[in-house]
Amino acid sequence: MNYFIAGTDTGAGKTAVTAGLLGAWRSRGHRVAGMKPVAAGVDAAGHNEDVDALAAVSAPELPAAALNPYLLPAPTSPHIAARLAGREIDFERLDAAYATLVAMTDRVLVEGAGGWRVPLTDTVLMSDLARRWRLPVVLVAGIRLGAINHTLLTVEAIERDGCPLRGWIANVVDSTYAYADATIDTLAARIGPPCLARLPFVPGLRPAGLAERLTSVALALEDATPPPGTSSRTAP
C-alpha cells in the first residue's frame, strides 16, 4: 500500500521518517520509492537535502523527474517559490510522475512539504494531493512546545478532508523540551488512530538507524487493509 506522509509543520521530521520507512521496506525486499512532489530550497550545488535523502533509499534506476517533479530554489512555501521562479505547478505532470512510480515499484511514500495546509498554487493545497491520489495518511508530529495544538488541528483537518489517517508518529525535535512524554500521552488520549512510534531526540541519526527503529511500523502499515476508496489512481 502507498501512503502520504504529512507533518505538523516544517522540521517535524517527515523526511527522516519517510526515509526510515523506505529503508525498512527495502531491507525486506520491497522495491520502494520516496516521492517529493514539490521541494523548495536548494544548496549552492542546486540540491535539496530532502530530495537527496529520499532518492538515496529509493530503488535504483527510478527517474529523478518522477521522484521530484518540481525543485524550486527559494526556501519558502511552494506557491511562493514557484511564483518567484516563474513556474506553475501542473497537476498532470504530478499525476504522471506518481503513476510512473506506482508502475515501477510496490511501495510509494509521498512526502508533503511543510504542513497539511501548505499551498501549492493560489487555489490548491498540499493536502489536495493526498485526496487526489486517494492515499491514506501517516502524520509525523514534531514534539516540542506547541505540539499539542499543532497536532490536534492537523488531525482535525485530515479527518475533515475525508482522508484516512492510519496513525501518527511522535518525533521529539527539541532536546531541551522537558515535557515530551506528557505531551505525547496527551495527544494519544485525544487522537483516535494509534501512535505508531515514539522517537526520542537522537542527534545525527542516519536513515539506516531509523529504519531499524521503524521496522515494526513498516510491518503494521504493510499489513493494513486498504480503506474504502483508496486507489493508486487519481481521483476523477
Give all domains of the chain, ordered by start, each with its CATH number. Answer: 3-222 (3.40.50.300)
For residue 126, give Cα distances in angstroms to 1, 15, 204: 20, 16, 28
Check if the beta carbon of residue 90 is closer than 8 Å to that of residue 57: no
pLDDT digits (tens, 9 = 90+) for 125-137: 999 999 999 999 9
Which helix (H) or strand (E) segment is 171 a member of? strand 165-172
Nearest Cα to 53, choosing from 207, 160, 212?
207
Cell 529523478: give the residue.
Answer: 64
Q: State the first-to-last Cα distance of the chain, in angstroms, to the nearest integer.
A: 20
pLDDT digits (tens, 9 = 90+) for 80-125: 999 999 999 999 999 999 999 999 999 999 999 999 999 999 999 9
- Which pTM does this prediction carry? 0.93
Q: Residues 7, 13, 15, 36: which is the catalytic one?
A: 36
* 36 is a catalytic site residue: yes
For residue 210, give Cα distances in angstroms to 6, 33, 49, 87, 109: 18, 17, 17, 35, 16
